[in-house]
Amino acid sequence: MHKNKSKLKRYNIPIFIILMLLSICMIFPFVWMFLSAFKTPADVYTYPPKWLPSSFKFDNFAKVFQLIPFGKFYFNTIVTSVTQTFLQIVLSITAAYVFAKLEFPGKKKMYMFVQSAMFIPAVVTVIPLYLMASKVRLVDTYAGIILPQILGVFTTILLISFFQSIPDDLLSASKIDGCGYYRILWNVVIPNSTTAINAAILFAFLSHWKSYMWPLIITNSTHKRTLPVGLKYLVTESSSEYQVMMAAAFMSIIPILIVYIICEKSFTRSLTMTGLKG
């Protein structure tokens, strides 16, 4: 028994070291961004590079709001991302319930069609989506940003794999009690799938928050831009003031960190339980 434990310890040490090095490589850019947000121009361009700023000041954060309408960009991103996430999760839950628990003609073929949509590059759909949005006058509107991006194939398949693990006997018992399809979904399926739903929320919100190409194409006016698009104005307006760019980048990831902290446990648990089955 002791020999087995010692072998496990021996094998785990190299793995632990590799994981630590990879973690440092992933965390380093965020730490550098955070510290650079408080630096002065002299600190940024000094050589050799300085880790810590000479003094922690919030001038860079104030300058972001002076150079660009950062508050408006932030508001636009919150409105569009939250709305897109809500609509995507509602559609994904209902579609996943249908595919996982209901029987209808052509179900397998339709499911294969849904899966195949994951392999279509987003670039291919940009022009058709823009032409359709233009015809219904959605260009440069919140609806134009939101509606074309609310169909999430990945979140649907993630929820399907989780809903399939819910016992059919539980649903049959609910039918005997007089529950219809929607009541079973609301009172049985959703309460038993909160971990997977939270994971889907995390994936959807992150995807919409960092979306760049579609908001750039569908919006024309500055007051409709989102954060990923709006931050590029700093490259022109602030020239090479990297400390200002870092301050703006740091403020832009705060909502993502909040959502991740809230959904992290559910995210980990859902991956363990579903195994990301297709």
Q: Work out the average pLDDT over 9-38.
A: 83
CATH of the domain spanning 56-274? 1.10.3720.10
Average pLDDT score over the chain: 84
* DSSP 8-class letter at 65: H
Q: What is the pLDDT of residue 276?
A: 43
Q: How far apart are CA 222 and CA 140, in angstroms?
A: 10
Burial class (CB in 10 A: 0-12, 13-18, 19+), 205: buried
Which amino acid is it at 239? S
Q: How far apart are CA 258 and CA 33, in angstroms?
A: 18
Closest to 80 measured CA to CA, from 230, 197, 199, 235: 230
pLDDT tens digits for range 55-69: 777 888 988 898 889
Q: Which residue has tokens 């993630």?
A: 158
CB of 142 within 8 A of CB of 79?
yes
Give the pLDDT band (50/70/90) at residue 11.
low
* DSSP 8-class letter at 68: S
pTM of the model: 0.83
Residue 229 CB contacts under 8 Å (≥ 6 apart), including other chains: 73, 212, 215, 216, 219
Q: Which residue has tokens 């069609």?
A: 113
Is the pLDDT assigned to residue 83 strictly greater than 60? yes
Q: What is the pLDDT of residue 173?
A: 84
Give the pLDDT band (50/70/90) at residue 80.
very high
Instruction: Kindly list the domain boundaries of the chain, sorted by start residue.
Output: 56-274
pLDDT tens digits for range 122-158: 888 889 999 999 999 999 999 999 999 898 889 999 8
SS (H, E, C) 38-65: CCCHHHHHCCCCCCCCCCCCCHHHHHHH
Is the pLDDT assigned to residue 5 strictly greater than 60? no
pLDDT tens digits for range 200-242: 888 899 999 999 999 999 998 888 999 999 888 887 644 667 8
Helix (H) or strand (E) holding 84: helix 70-101
Radius of gyration of the chain (CA): 24
Is the pLDDT assigned to residue 252 strictly greater than 50? yes
Q: Work out the average pLDDT over 113-129.
A: 86
CB of 174 within 8 A of CB of 192?
no
| 5-19, 40-54, 89-103, 208-222: least confident range | 5-19
Q: How far apart are CA 228 and CA 12, in angstroms?
A: 40
Is the pLDDT assigned to residue 185 strictly greater than 90? no
Q: How far apart are CA 101 and CA 159, in angstroms?
A: 12
Is the pLDDT assigned to residue 49 strictly greater than 80? no
Q: What is the pLDDT of residue 214?
A: 92
Give the pLDDT band (50/70/90) at residue 278.
very low
- Residue 141, SS3? coil
Is the pLDDT assigned to residue 275 strictly greater than 70? no
Is the pLDDT assigned to residue 277 strictly greater than 50? no
